[in-house]
Structure 1
Amino acid sequence: MPFLSAQPTVADVAELFLGAPGTELDEANPENRFRLEWIEQVESLVDTAVADGAKALVITATGKFFTNGLDTDFIAAHAAELPAYLDKVHGLYTKILTLPVPTIAAINGHAFGAGAMLALCADHVVMRTERGFWSLPEAALSMPFTRGMASLIRTRLTDRTATEAMLTSRRYAADAAVAAGIVDEAVAAGDLLARAAAIGAERAPLAGPAQTLIKRGLRQPLLADLAVPTPPSLL
């Protein structure tokens, strides 16, 4: 399950890991998929980090995956619950998009689907070189995007990049992701966490209630789309 680092790289910059501590792969959720309990745990840890005085938040993981997105096993077994499940995913996006502290996504491995979109919720995104892709596989899987998800991608990326990413399911390595404007920086794996923490430290003095107000103003149409309940007719 996700956890907050007990020894963050930089003081006042919390580090949220999306997998289990002490191992590259969480045996219970090896791809860091958006299981219901995982979503709840991530939200709780984000709230804890802010309540404990963090001035910035780094979101990362270890191993092969940043996160592989939606819990497809749950979706297959609980089709009737899909709208409510997707609304919970939207709720997590909204929380990250409106935090009162600067947020940095440090993509350590594959970020696919809903996981790729989670990275886009951060204020700044760094991605490791050597291994891992950012991708929206929905088109290849014949899956539609929710209104909120489409708005998130359209808002955070250029129209040309959003069109390519959404319609072709292209897999972007770090350098290609930088060129496409998906991520801000590509860094070596050994420097990923330190670079993300350094950015957090640079922006930490900006933390405070005004950050949330500014983010809500900046992202108002997106937040409105994420708040629209997912219709049962989506699929």
Structure 2
Amino acid sequence: MPYLKLTDDAAELYLGTEGVELDEANPENRFQQAWLEQVTGLIDEAIAARKPLIVSATGKFFSNGLDTDYVFANAGALPAYLDSVHQLYAKVLTVPAPVIVAVNGHAFGAGAMLALCADHRVMRSDRGFFSLPEAALNMPFTRGMAALVRTRMPDASATEAMLTSRRYGGADAVAAGIVDEAVAADALLERARDVARERASLVGDNQAAIKRGLRLPLLEDLNTPTPVTLL
């Protein structure tokens, strides 16, 4: 399960399990209900620490997105489940501190969208893809998810990513404006920590106020309940 490390420079949130490269309970860091609750609680702890927030993971995946086993087995609960995912995005988008994501592996679907919520995105250059596979899987985007992609990526890249399910490696993701930079795996976390140190003086309530103003239409879309007619 996810865990938080507090250092002098940042609060580092890891989406995987501490000391484990392959978590048998959730090897792909999918958005299981318990996982969502724990990540939300750890973000609250990070906010209380008043430090920049770094989000990364362990193992092969940053996150493979929605818990599809739960989705297919609980169609009636799907709107509430998706609303909880939206609330996680809204929380990350309004953290009163700089948020830096270090994409250590595959970021697919809802996991890729979580990465888009960060203020600065660093991706591993040698392995791992960013992809929105919904078109290939014949799945729709919710209103909030579509708004998130549309406002956090350049229009041409959002159109390509959403309509073709293209997989972007690190260099391609930089070229498409999806991430800010791509670095070697052994430099990934240190680069994220560098950005955290550079922006440490910005931590505070004013950061959240600016983010809410900047992202108000997106937050309104994320806070719109998911209709039962989505699927």
Compute the TM-score of the two structures, normalised by the length of structure 1. Answer: 0.97
Instruction: Report Cα offsets for 1:46-67 as digits up to 9, x if no partner.
Output: 101121x232000000110000
Structure 1 residue 5, shift from structure 2 partner: 2.1
**Aligned residue number for residue 2 of structure 2:** 2
In the aligned structure 2, how far is the partner of 1:49 from the partner of 1:91?
A: 17
Paired residues of 1:12 and 1:54 also in contact (CA < 8 A): no
**Aligned residue number for residue 214 of structure 2:** 218
RMSD, aligned CA: 0.7
In the aligned structure 2, how far is the partner of 1:203 from the partner of 1:121?
A: 17
Instruction: Report Cα offsets for 1:64-115 as digits up to 9, x if no partner.
Output: 0000000000001100000000000000000000000100010000000000
Paired residues of 1:55 and 1:205 also in contact (CA < 8 A): no
- Over the matched positions of the two proteins, sequence identity in percent amounts to 67
- Residue 80, structure 1, aligned to residue 102, structure 2: no
**Aligned residue number for residue 14 of structure 2:** 17
Instruction: Tell me the secondary structure at the aligned position of residue 38 of structure 1.
Output: helix
Instruction: Tell me the secondary structure at the aligned position of residue 221 of structure 2.
Output: helix
- Residue 37, structure 1, aligned to residue 34, structure 2: yes
49, 63, 66: which one aligns with 2:62: 66
Unmatched runs of 5 consecutive residues or more in structure 2: none
**Aligned residue number for residue 50 of structure 2:** 54
Compute the TM-score of the two structures, normalised by the length of structure 2. Answer: 0.99
Structure 1 residue 164, shift from structure 2 partner: 0.2
Instruction: Tell me the secondary structure at the aligned position of residue 229 of structure 2.
Output: helix
Aligned length: 231
- Residue 150, structure 1, aligned to residue 146, structure 2: yes
In the aligned structure 1, how far is the partner of 2:85 from the partner of 2:117?
A: 12
Runs of 4+ in 1 over 2 A off after TM superposition: none
**Aligned residue number for residue 128 of structure 1:** 124
